[in-house]
Amino acid sequence: MSVRGNYWAVPFLASSAVVILYTLAISSALRIADRGSIATFRRVNAVLMVSQVLWLVFVGVGLGFSVIMDSIRPLANTVLFGAFVCSGLEFLIINGVFTENVAISAILAAIHPLTTFMIVGLPLEPDQLTVTIGAGLAAFAIIATFNLLLRRRKTSRGYNAIKLFQAFMKTWAGGTAADLEEIISDHAEPAEVTTKVMRFQRDDGSVFIILPGVHPGPFFPVGSYNLPNMLSREFEHLGSVLTLHRPGGHERNLASNDQTHGYVSQIREFARHIEPVQLGTIRGPLHARIGKAAVSSVAFGEDLLLTISFAPFGSDDLEPLVEDELSSVASMYRFDASIVDAHNSIGSEQEQPNIADPGWRRLLGLMREAEASPLSLAYTHSDELGFSAGEDVTENGIGLLMFEASGVKSAIILADSNNAVPSLHEETAKGLESSGYRLVELCTSDSHDLAAKGLTATRGYRALGEDTPIDSILKVVLGLAKLADERLAPCKYGSGQLTSSVKVFGSRALDEFASISQSSLDLAKRYSQLTLVSIVALFVLSLTL
């Protein structure tokens, strides 16, 4: 049969035009089956359009062969074969992303190609049907088998890779963390965590330094991702808060938002009952370079803050062992030490402090010998200056806590960010020094509020200074310092340590999730190559018969 005039083109293009109707039907069915589905009209339409374009590629090749051979057979074969490949691709995505139900996925994946093929209505001889349908079924099976293989990869609690991926996609694309938090909670480990709370009581209100025993992760909106901001909101009527980052990583994330709310409320209630009665005193700040680590130390009464920065060298979360060992050494000098991970120098190399270095004992000895001076203190926040940050600072902004002792004014700066560009530490220190102030440390809270909200960076977030211009950051820091200088006043000081029973991710669950993700990725790479070769071979077979 001749293909002159291409009578089939009109119905084929007409079928393409009604893809929008299929999109509406499929997205509606998926959202009825699962109210939390991310199968929006736009996403389903993208799936159908991709499969439609792939089908048109097959049809284009078939048309070329039909014109050359002056026969409808190649075109008819490729239209039918393409229908199976199109259905396989739609099944792969629908079942892999939108719903775990295999039967629903298969039915929905068949609607678009089956209807289109019926509209086109190309004639097929019996021998064509046998071979082309066989090749098409083989192609569909090859594509669909990938999802079945992923289902065999399971966690120790029985959650397969497809379930994990869909839960992640609901969180990342839909902002709904319930499914992922359920999985995490099922793998989480019970733990006892300690939280240090320092309260500085001025006549006009309180300022708190909080060192939580949990990590502010993993990413928006899961677990304790936004812990610093949650604490600031919880303490709104109690006082200002600096939530500093302690050593430890994502193994210390809380398993759910609900648990984080409970933990934050517990801290607030504990802090409310701390009643400072002694006039605040301060030793330091003293600074030392211990190996590659820049260490700042300041003591309020017998409570010691040791802040560790590796700027300009790269660093991320310090190991929990750092806190355990340094706290033990500090106790020999009669200090109750809290270790602060400044988390302020993004880089590919991840430095860790050398605890065996004698510099730690020298610094602690100097701190014990230092004379305690009366403490004056003030806190300021970037909201007071109308600071407008980029996508590297959360809505919690930047806070500055200034101390004055023996006429020396020093500042701890805390940005609610996840790490910082390596140069920012030195530039901040120079800027403050030029205005008559000393930098204790520039810290970030390691907040993951902005993590995974979009493809903003290869690591999933922007470090402080990567989006907000450094000049803008320095300007607001100097403005906050001058404002704090005007507000310095004596204070009373008190502290306490809270112990909480929580469920954290744990190292085992993190390793398990990482392992199943990596093995699934490796499978995808290998299987995609096999699928491509197989589909091409089957297509050539259907084209030439």
Task: Write the DSSP string, 205-225.
Answer: EEEEEEE-SSB--SSTTSTTT
Q: Which two tokens stand for residue 108?
A: 């929905």
Number of helices and strands (H, E) in the chain?
15, 15
Strand partners, 518: none
Torsions phi, psi of 515, nearest 5?
Answer: -65, -45
Q: Quick one: how far is CA 367 from the chain centroid?
A: 38
Q: Is 270 exposed, middle or buried (0-12, 13-18, 19+ CB in 10 A)?
A: middle
CB neighbours of 69 closer than 8 A, spacing ≥ 6? none
Helix (H, G, I), strand (E, B) or coil at 13: helix
Q: Is 522 exposed, middle or buried (0-12, 13-18, 19+ CB in 10 A)?
A: exposed
Q: Which two tokens stand for residue 187?
A: 């793998």
Tokens 């990482």 found at: 514
Q: Which two tokens stand for residue 496?
A: 């306490």
Report d(CA 94, CA 38) in Å as an integer: 11
Report d(CA 427, CA 441) in Å as an integer: 12
Q: Distances in Å between the alpha carbon of 96 and those of 55, 163, 176, 324, 379?
A: 20, 8, 18, 44, 50
If phi over 0 gives left and psi between -120 and 50 gives alpha, with beta otherwise, what is residue 175? left
Q: Which two tokens stand for residue 112?
A: 């678009």
Report d(CA 255, CA 259) in Å as an integer: 7
**Which pLDDT score, from 0 to 100, does residue 130 have?**
79
**Which pLDDT score, from 0 to 100, does residue 2 have?**
47
**Which pLDDT score, from 0 to 100, does residue 405 have?**
87
Instruction: Yes or no: say if 348 and 314 are a contact pair by the CB < 8 Å rule.
Output: yes
Report d(CA 299, CA 303) in Å as an integer: 5
- Across the 545 residues of the chain, what is the mean pLDDT of every consecutive 10-residue run? 49 62 81 81 86 86 86 82 92 92 90 77 66 90 94 92 91 87 93 96 95 93 93 95 95 94 97 93 95 95 95 90 94 96 89 92 96 95 94 94 92 95 95 96 93 61 94 96 96 96 91 91 94 93 77
Tokens 């699934």 found at: 520
Domain boundaries, the chain: 9-168+513-544, 190-504
Report d(CA 224, CA 226) in Å as an integer: 6
**Which pLDDT score, from 0 to 100, does residue 453 have?**
61
Amino acid at 514: A
Q: Which two tokens stand for residue 175?
A: 């902002």
- Residue 327's H or E segment, with its range, is helix 320-331
**Which pLDDT score, from 0 to 100, does residue 20 have?**
74
Closest CA relative to residue 139, chosen from 213, 212, 54: 54
Instruction: Yes or no: say if 424 and 344 are a contact pair by the CB < 8 Å rule.
Output: yes
Report d(CA 333, CA 319) in Å as an integer: 23
Per-residue DSSP letter, 370: S
Q: Angle at which helices 73-93 and 506-544 pack, to 10 degrees?
A: 170
Closest CA relative to residue 43, chosen from 24, 21, 16: 24
**Which pLDDT score, from 0 to 100, does residue 429 have?**
95
Kindly give the pairing relationship between strand 240-243 and strand 205-211.
Answer: parallel
